[in-house]
Amino acid sequence: MSPEPASFLPQTLDDVQRKYLLNDLLRGVSRSFYLTLKVLPQPLREPISVAYLLARAADTIADTEIVAAEQRRAALLHLRAQLVADERSHAVLEQLQSAFVGKLDHALEKALLTKLPPLFELLARQTVPDRALISKVVLTLLDGMLSDLENFPAPAASQLTITALSDQRELDRYTYRVAGCVGEFWTDISIAHIDALQGWHAQQARYSQLGIRFGKALQLTNILRDVPRDLRIGRCYLPQPWLDEVGLSADELLKITRSEMARPLLTRGTGIALDHYSAAEQYVVALPRRCLRLRLAALWPMLIGLKTLALLSQQSNWLDPANPCKVERKWIYRMMLLSCGAVFSNTLLRWWCRRLRQR
């Protein structure tokens, strides 16, 4: 199906710009996720890449701390308005880029914001169903970013005030908004494009739910890994009732000496993440074996996430920001090599996941 004719933006996108957006720029701003994007089946690469670039542009705006939180919030709202508008405004997109480009140090992040007009044109060129799915997931991600700015206002320069999430339900809502929705999008757009997944139509809600939990598993892993860094910008994604149960305040988590006392928080978060990873495992093995590329694209982040949790569980000073948990690139490359053989066997994949979970 071809995209419907629409006057979204002046025609600025030529083949050179399209290739730059979907290759050089994407590689520069997506880091290791670029490998996952490139292994995807051809019909999925462009719509998923467009969604990623739009979300990455929004994330760049949200994370530019040198700009006041209220100004970042206004910019995200303008971006959201462009996604739901019948016609996009070239002037609004140029205002967004001009307000932030001068504040960024990363050259490719600057380039991403300067390419908002052709990126929106690339969105307009997607099929109508794909455009709807892309807009839906990016809007949900924007809601998560806006929620962050509201829940964690920038601390004053003279005093760091750390805010924790109010309860576990808020944590669950947050992990859906910033990652679970991506698993849902990934599932729905895969079913729309991959003939081998036509059998999933009858149970699309089930598979979408597994995809949501897959995304939540990855995000909860990131939260547990990034606790020391997030605390130092005034954010604590661990729910306040969890802190109350171990007798710690969010401020006390800044003390590395509290790592042992805080360990039940890591254990609890890991247990929830592992429960979600069980859904991720169901998701991967449910993919038909002939969908080799789709299986690998799902398998790699799941294994890296499980390996990250295994490393976290072995850290004695979890709260030490000078000792971040990171999966070695050597392990990742070895895993990718081994996965090319194991991906055909559900028995091997389950064994591999079980081994990482046991660690």
178, 282: one domain: yes
Output the CA–CA distances (angstroms, integers) from residue 120 to 18, 74, 101, 113, in the order listed. 11, 19, 18, 11
- Domain final residue pick, 103, 128, 153: 153
* Whole-number pLDDT of residue 271: 97
More confident site: 106 or 243: 243
Is the pLDDT at 7 greater than 60? The verdict is no
> What rounded mean pLDDT belongs to the chain?
91
Contact, 57 vs 122, CB < 8 A? Answer: no
**Greatest alpha-carbon span in the chain:** 61
196, 303: one domain: yes
Q: Which range has the top average pLDDT, 76-80, 200-204, 239-243?
A: 239-243
Q: Has residue 4 been placed in a domain?
A: no
95, 188: one domain: no
d(CA 134, CA 139): 9
264, 168: one domain: yes
234, 118: one domain: no
99, 111: one domain: yes
Q: Has residue 2 been placed in a domain?
A: no
Least confident of 108-122, 213-227, 298-312: 108-122
CATH label of the domain that carries residue 313: 1.10.600.10
- Domain final residue pick, 153, 170, 203: 153
Total count of domains within the chain:
2
Q: Has residue 6 been placed in a domain?
A: no
For residue 128, the enclosing domain spans 11-153
pTM of the predicted model as reported, rounded to 2 decimal places: 0.92
147, 171: one domain: no
242, 171: one domain: yes
d(CA 38, CA 55): 18
d(CA 161, CA 232): 9
d(CA 226, CA 307): 15
Collect all residues with Cβ–Cβ distance below 8 Å to 132 and sequence separation of at least 6.
none
46, 106: one domain: yes
148, 168: one domain: no
